[in-house]
Amino acid sequence: MDKYIEVAGRFLLGLIFLMAGIGKIGAGYAGTAGYMDMMGVPGALLPLVIILEIAGGLMVMTGFKVKWAAYALAAFTLVAGAIFHSNFADQMQSIMFMKNLAITGALLLLAVQGAGELSLDKKLAK
């Protein structure tokens, strides 16, 4: 049963990044780039963010090179929280920051524990 719970956990954790990356393509692109610029982060970095979110999310979901993906997404999530959600006077921003911390924690656990039995990492190791 645990191996199925690992898959569900990886799927749910990766899904937030996959959907965020996809959401930034098309209609959301200009708004996100503008928000990044407003917060002091060059909007020109947005393509890299999209690639990291989509590729990293898929890697976590499938359990492929999951340690690398988890460490990269953990660093990204922590930095994004510090840059974009550090207005602690705003309760919503405080909640978003804590969400980023929780996701970072889950990604660090995944990096240390590995992808589990039902993963591409395990399949490729055989």
Residue 97 is part of which domain span? 2-115
**Structural tokens at position 2:** 């645990």
Q: Is residue 122 part of a domain?
A: no
**Structural tokens at position 89:** 């006077």
What is the Cα 74 distance to its own chain's centre?
Answer: 7
Q: How many structural domains does the chain have?
A: 1
Write down the pLDDT at residue 44: 96
Q: Is residue 120 part of a domain?
A: no
Half-sphere exposure of 28 (CA within 13 A, CB side): 10
Distance CA 25, CA 70 (A): 22
Is the distance from CB of 68 to CB of 112 less than 8 angstroms? no
Q: Is residue 9 part of a domain?
A: yes
**Structural tokens at position 26:** 């098309």
* Residue ranges of the chain whose pLDDT lies below 70: none
The structure's pTM equals: 0.94
Q: Is residue 46 part of a domain?
A: yes
Q: Is residue 126 part of a domain?
A: no
Write down the pLDDT at residue 26: 86
